[in-house]
Structure 1
Amino acid sequence: MNKIKHLLARDQWIVPFLKTQKSGFFWSILLNLLTIVAASALMFVSGYLISRAAQRPDNILLIYVPIVLTRAFGIARPIFRYAQRLVSHNWVLRFVSKSRQRLYESVASTASSIRGRFQTGKVLSLLADDLDQLQNLYLRTLFPLGTGLLVYLFVSVAVGTVNWLFMLWWLVMLTIIMIIVPTMSFLMNRARVHKQKQLQSQLYTDATDAVLGLQDWVLSGRQKDLVAQQGYIMANLARTKNAGMAFGWWRDFVLQMLVLILVITTLICVGWQFKSNHMAVNFIAAFTLAIFPLVDDFIGVNQGVSEASFYEDSIERLNTLPRPEASQIETGKLNDTTVILNHVTFKYDNKKIIDEVDLVVHPGEKIALLGRSGSGKTTLLKLIAADIAPLSGSITIGNQPVSQLQQQLSTLVAVLDQQSYLFNTSILNNVRMGNIKATDDQVKLAIKQTGLQPLIDSLPNGYETQMQEAGARFSGGEQQRFALARILLQDAPIVILDEPTVSLDPKTEYEVLTQIFKVLQDRTIIWVTHHLTGIDYVDKAYFLENGRFVLADTPKNLRKTSAHFQQLLAMDGIN
């Protein structure tokens, strides 16, 4: 609970909407309370009417008022319920609509930097799961909890008008039902909920990666391994969900038993209170029956609080996304875009990945980072992009620590990696994600600069051609050019190339790299690669080994002085 309070205290998604839409939130809770009151009043009057009618009144007019009230509350309950559903769902749909738009703008305006931090499946989890969880936060937690607190106060005051000792007993029982049991339920269910969310996220990620890499699975003959892996995760997720459902059943059973105790004690207390009065005895059934409609509210509060931990990860993950309005900060505020790494060290599981590295990349300079797999190249990129923080040392852009440039990094640093980040929408929309405020002419110019205009002209629908998911209808080289067009539109002064051509054939690789360095000639480029194709485009090449630079010089000088460099050139078939 404390974590949720802390998250809400610095939240930029839920709290601002609550502040601007307070009236809708208030009316939803009030209408929900009126629904419960009408239902309890219906049972109360019905109980009184049955008891009074059983006494065979001399005149029908003696029970006429209860009959009218029964009809009135019977009509009022569904009306209040319907109105409450209209108000609450309209309110939540407004929230979801605005949040989806804001999430889209955030992802669209910073797609490349987000791709550097989240796998495709993680982003899919954001889009498909997190906003749904926040929708349930209102419908299943905040609305029932707000109503439950009002019911707690309303019932306590109502019972207190009859007998103050009876009111104390109700306060004790309501405290157990609406505070103690929900809190215990939340604490007991929290670990299971986190496990379920992790499995769901893993399922999204693994399934997406499997689809995108399906060809590799087929070529390696490991289809059965893929199916088995997915089946294991799904079975584990099913077991976790079933355990959660069993826990909910037992929680509701405990609540039903507590309500049963409340009903029996109420029957005894009200019977003792009214037994001496011939007319007041009719209230015994009335007070007892009025309890039953409260059960739905009791269960709703407990269910909502028990599921509250579902929302922790969703709120935290959404708030780590850059705000779209913040991502539009003009890079002109940073006159100098020199990248400086000063004695940077990074460890993972007590193993040094980067060891006391120094690096200076001046504006407009092109460098290549080379080395074996696991030498620390990708880690170095993540450090520069502020996706991870160094253990020691400093990383600055324009003499400002990257940790203080989080809201501005998407306008300073663009990322082009080996997997293009393309959606099942039009070519125009996909490229526009580099700058969602760009005009159609600006988008088309960026596409033209990457050499894709002949391809566009050959398509029947031109710029409105649908990409298909992950750009499946286009070749790898074409996908990378579309991603490059997006980076051109993003106009970030620093571009990170994380092996963008690793899956391309040599001829296409050379063509794509030539186009990249041509259109990005006025930008700073930090390029991680295993191959030396296109190495002459960079000003300086750095070789990483065991987290340190073992070679650093221009490609021209390395051709003359480094036997290792010459060997790598020969392996790549470069003269």
Structure 2
Amino acid sequence: MKIFKAFKNDSWIKPFLGKYRNSLFWALILGVSTFFCAGALMFNSGYLISRSASLPENILLVYVPIVLTRAFGISRPVFKYLERLTSHNWVLKLTSELRLKLYKVLEKDAAFFKNDYQTGNILGLLSEDINHIQNLYLRTVFPTVIAWLLYIFIVVALGYFSLWFALVMLLLFAVLLILLPLWSIVVNGVRQEKQKQMRHQLYTELTDNVLGISDWIFSQRSLSYARRHEDFERKLQETTQKIKNFNHKRDFLAQLVFCLIAIALLIWTSGYFPGNHGGQANWIAAFVLAIFPLIDAFAPLSDAAQETNVYQDSIVRLNQLQDGRKEQLSSLRPALKVTAPFTVEIKHLDFHYADSNKQIIKGLDLKIVNGEKIAILGRSGSGKSTLASLIRGDLRPSGGIVSLNHKKTYLFGDTISDYIGVIHQAPYLFNTTIRNNLSIGNEKASEQDLWDVLDRVGLKKMILDLPEKMDTLVDEAGLRFSGGERHRLALARILLKNVPIIILDEPTVSLDPVTEQKLIETFITELQGKTLIWITHHLQGLSLMDQVIFLEDGKLQMSGNPQELVQSNGHYRKLLAIDQGL
């Protein structure tokens, strides 16, 4: 099985098995004791009822079964409680240390994970994988080991009375313990893998499209997306229903096997324990009733086995974290430095996340020369923001090259911020003074420098009107400022930093048309002479750009000067008309 292969080279789970082996041992013993007491309770109860119905000559003949019934009746819930307490305590110790280890890895190496995982998948790694490990033990390992121990005990105990009947039970219980679980893995394993991939794709696309809902509305394709989403949901539900239907059929077969076991016990006890005055009936009831509590031990095994298809990926992902980091560290070099003029060059660029086969950028070629103003258009999911991250070196290409003055951008490390600045959709302002928020751009900036840059971005008058001027505290995330004011403060930081290349990642997406136009004009005026890379889905202000490119599914579909595109490209004219509401 794949789960055993995943465990073979595991460095996350196995070290803790030895560390907490005593708790693991007692959890299994208590689990077996719980089912033993349940079976023994029914065995004694069946014998006691039958023996009492046959009018025993002396009450002492049923005194021992009475005492044992009471003892097993009390022991069963006690052992069950202790087993749950011990097993959950063991699992919680294990998972708490795994979470601590995972958070330490993520905290130390967060910069590397964005190359391999999308945001939604990192969240999934944090929220699901450790929980899967927890369920692996509580819902698969513990029940399976306990069932095997009971299986051995039952066969050995029946072998004491009858070897041939023990062999019959060996085969019947093997159907429940081996055949049905393997059948579940083979048949439902493929469906579960398909279900998992569909859920992964659905979650990723839903996240991307919710974040870019304005693109869908702008392109007038919201109904198209809704239909596409509903169709995908329908296919996922069909796969899920097939899994449920198979489980119902398999569970029905399991119940038939239990029925055969009960009938076999009925026939065997009728012949093996003959006697008068109800002696035969006493043992028939005892043995047959004892089998019913064991249904709870063997029935869940098929579900437990097929769930290993889910758990194995979590184990593999956890073990790949540090391996992937070592590979990336080995390829990194000391931070690079380059001098003006600055040229960004993209050659045969391909990109996909390591945990996904979806190609986000495909064979892209682009050159951005010093001082050029370029706009990158495209709907949500077309690769615009990914391209910006690749240009800034936040992501490493899967193929091809992204370079700044012939040096790969991902090799610059933190020094890339000396060359490329970014203004995002929602610039973040820290819960400190306006002065400190500005000084992030240049800690050596003087008081006059700060006032000058505020004047350049059109905020000087507003700041002067505040009671404490630049010493006014900014609320967390800058919520006391409007969207346009937050973008102007972000621009002030960039101007203080004085980087030669600026990426504007849809900074006007949430602004009203008047504020948007004023902000665009401020950007163009104050960033004159710098290389400007503007990611947008609006066409407002594009006439001020030197070059416009349009991405579709990670490929370059259209490029050229905006004035030339208006004259020669019908698709561009159509987009322009839609943007203007014509």
**Under a length normalisation based on structure 1, what TM-score does the superposition of the two structures give?**
0.65
In structure 2, the CA distance between the partners of 1:171 and 1:135, relative to structure 1 (3 Å rule), is: same
2:252 aligned with 1:286, yes or no?
A: no
What's the counterpart of residue 449 of structure 1?
440
Tell me which moved more, 11-20 or 408-417.
Answer: 408-417
2:226 aligned with 1:235, yes or no?
A: no
Kindly, what percent of the aligned residue pairs are identical? 33
* Offset, 1:343: 9.9
Specify the code of the residue in structure 2 equivalent to 1:90.
N
Specify the code of the residue in structure 1 equivalent to 2:243.
G
What's the counterpart of residue 310 of structure 2?
310
2:59 aligned with 1:68, yes or no?
A: no
Distance in 1, matches of 2:222 and 2:71, equals 65
In structure 2, the CA distance between the partners of 1:473 and 1:257, relative to structure 1 (3 Å rule), is: farther
In structure 2, the CA distance between the partners of 1:95 and 1:44, relative to structure 1 (3 Å rule), is: same
Tell me which moved more, 136-145 or 101-110.
Answer: 101-110
Distance in 2, matches of 1:460 and 1:14, equals 52
Query: Which aligned pairs between 1:340-379 and structure 2 lie closer than 5 A?
Result: 353-354=362-363
* Offset, 1:292: 1.3
Distance in 2, matches of 1:284 and 1:415, equals 83
Distance in 1, matches of 2:232 and 2:480, equals 26
Distance in 1, matches of 2:426 and 2:106, equals 14
Distance in 1, matches of 2:23 and 2:439, equals 49
Distance in 2, matches of 1:209 and 1:351, equals 12
* Offset, 1:85: 2.0
Q: SS of the residue aligned with 1:275?
A: coil
1:465 to 446, 456, 476: 476
Q: Deviations over 1:159-210 (max 9, x none)?
A: 2222222222222222221012101111111122123223332343333334
Specify the code of the residue in structure 2 equivalent to 1:6.
K
Distance in 1, matches of 2:148 and 2:482, equals 57
Distance in 2, matches of 1:332 and 1:448, equals 30
CA contact (8 A) 1:125 1:201 kept: no
CA contact (8 A) 2:147 2:297 kept: yes
Tell me which moved more, 218-227 or 372-381.
Answer: 372-381
CA contact (8 A) 1:156 1:171 kept: yes
In structure 2, the CA distance between the partners of 1:166 and 1:218, relative to structure 1 (3 Å rule), is: same
What's the counterpart of residue 20 of structure 1?
19
Distance in 2, matches of 1:119 and 1:567, equals 37
Distance in 2, matches of 1:76 and 1:515, equals 80
* Offset, 1:60: 0.8
* Offset, 1:380: 8.1
Specify the code of the residue in structure 1 equivalent to 2:28.
I
Specify the code of the residue in structure 2 equivalent to 1:134.
I
Distance in 2, matches of 1:328 and 1:247, equals 44
2:257 aligned with 1:258, yes or no?
A: yes
- Pick the structure with greater CA Rg: 2
Distance in 1, matches of 2:16 and 2:421, equals 32
Tell me which moved more, 327-336 or 260-269.
Answer: 327-336
In structure 2, the CA distance between the partners of 1:169 and 1:25, relative to structure 1 (3 Å rule), is: same
Specify the code of the residue in structure 1 equivalent to 2:248.
W
In structure 2, the CA distance between the partners of 1:246 and 1:358, relative to structure 1 (3 Å rule), is: closer
2:149 aligned with 1:142, yes or no?
A: no
CA contact (8 A) 1:121 1:201 kept: no
In structure 2, the CA distance between the partners of 1:87 and 1:187, relative to structure 1 (3 Å rule), is: same
CA contact (8 A) 1:35 1:81 kept: yes
What's the counterpart of residue 58 of structure 1?
57
What's the counterpart of residue 536 of structure 1?
none
Distance in 1, matches of 2:323 and 2:502, equals 22
* Offset, 1:240: 2.9
What's the counterpart of residue 248 of structure 1?
247
Specify the code of the residue in structure 2 equivalent to 1:187.
V
In structure 2, the CA distance between the partners of 1:501 and 1:102, relative to structure 1 (3 Å rule), is: farther
Unaligned runs of 5+ in 1: 360-364, 429-439, 486-494, 517-524, 534-540, 549-562
What's the counterpart of residue 179 of structure 1?
178
Query: Which aligned pairs between 1:63-462 and structure 2 lie closer than 5 A?
Result: 63-104=62-103, 106-107=105-106, 113-115=112-114, 117-275=116-274, 282-321=282-321, 334=334, 353-354=362-363, 389-390=398-399, 448-450=439-441
Unaligned runs of 5+ in 2: 339-344, 353-357, 442-453, 494-500, 542-546, 566-571, 573-582
Q: SS of the residue aligned with 1:309?
A: helix
Specify the code of the residue in structure 1 equivalent to 2:62.
I
Q: Deviations over 1:329-348 (max 9, x none)?
A: 9999857799xx99988699
CA contact (8 A) 2:349 2:402 kept: no
Q: SS of the residue aligned with 2:199?
A: helix
Specify the code of the residue in structure 2 equivalent to 1:308.
T
Q: Deviations over 1:80-100 (max 9, x none)?
A: 112222223333344444445
Specify the code of the residue in structure 2 equivalent to 1:89.
H
**Under a length normalisation based on structure 2, what TM-score does the superposition of the two structures give?**
0.65
Distance in 1, matches of 2:147 and 2:160, equals 20
Distance in 1, matches of 2:249 and 2:267, equals 27
Specify the code of the residue in structure 2 equivalent to 1:303.
D
* Offset, 1:9: 2.6
Q: Deviations over 1:479-535 (max 9, x none)?
A: 9999x99xxxxxxxxx9979575859587579889999xxxxxxxx9989799x9xx
Q: SS of the residue aligned with 1:56?
A: coil
CA contact (8 A) 1:418 1:502 kept: no
* Offset, 1:354: 4.4
In structure 2, the CA distance between the partners of 1:19 and 1:458, relative to structure 1 (3 Å rule), is: farther
Q: Deviations over 1:309-361 (max 9, x none)?
A: 122333334444459998999999857799xx999886999999449x999xx
Q: SS of the residue aligned with 2:62?
A: helix
Distance in 2, matches of 1:474 and 1:367, equals 30
What RMSD over aligned residues (CA atoms) do the two structures have, in Å? 6.3
What's the counterpart of residue 449 of structure 2?
none
Distance in 2, matches of 1:177 and 1:386, equals 50
In structure 2, the CA distance between the partners of 1:274 and 1:108, relative to structure 1 (3 Å rule), is: same
In structure 2, the CA distance between the partners of 1:246 and 1:415, relative to structure 1 (3 Å rule), is: farther
In structure 2, the CA distance between the partners of 1:235 and 1:343, relative to structure 1 (3 Å rule), is: closer
Distance in 2, matches of 1:173 and 1:66, equals 29
Q: SS of the residue aligned with 1:58?
A: coil
In structure 2, the CA distance between the partners of 1:64 and 1:323, relative to structure 1 (3 Å rule), is: farther
In structure 2, the CA distance between the partners of 1:60 and 1:269, relative to structure 1 (3 Å rule), is: same
* Offset, 1:71: 0.9
Distance in 2, matches of 1:298 and 1:53, equals 31
In structure 2, the CA distance between the partners of 1:118 and 1:244, relative to structure 1 (3 Å rule), is: same
CA contact (8 A) 1:102 1:324 kept: no
